[in-house]
Amino acid sequence: KKDWYDIKAPSVFQVKNVGKTLVTRTQGTKIASDGLKHRVFEVSLADLQGDEDNAFRKIRLRAEDVQGKNLLTNFWGMDFTTDKLRSLVRKWQTLIEAHVDVKTTDSYTLRMFCIGFTKRRSNQVKRTCYAQSSQIRQVYSLHYNYVIKHEWF
């Protein structure tokens, strides 16, 4: 008593068919398309673009509309795979994280995240390269001002 629906990616991606999903058939007052709406699917960007260099980026697609046996989706977020995130973080350096809420021209609100790390200088003798808290605040404010100043959308 299940039906298969094709998941269609938004037009910005090269690959249009993402996969298939199951849903219980329409029965009585329970409509199958209502069970599909607002589902979130996680797909590798490598699968969407056909480029294996982007395999560590995960794209979340949210089901918005059902047309026949096709399930139309919208972009719902991006994330890194845990192994990529863990490989970025190293010992003996400072991790600087920042986030900014940005309003787009079509009145969507995006939360942009940025990750930064301190780096040893080429002539540095000391093994560690930690940043002071005042330097971390400066880097955070630089990121914030850069994102706010530029009109991305």
pLDDT tens per residue across span 60-105: 999 999 999 999 999 999 999 999 989 988 899 999 999 888 888 8
Q: What is the 3-state secondary structure (H, E, C) of 86-117?
A: HHHCCCCECEEEEEEEEECCCCCEEEEEEEEE
CA distance 21 to 10: 17
Per-residue model confidence as pLDDT tens digits over 5-46? 999 999 999 989 999 999 988 888 888 888 899 999 999 999
Whether this prediction's pTM lies above 0.75 is answered by: yes
CA 97 to chain centre: 16
Question: Hey, where are the domains in the chain?
Answer: 2-80, 89-149
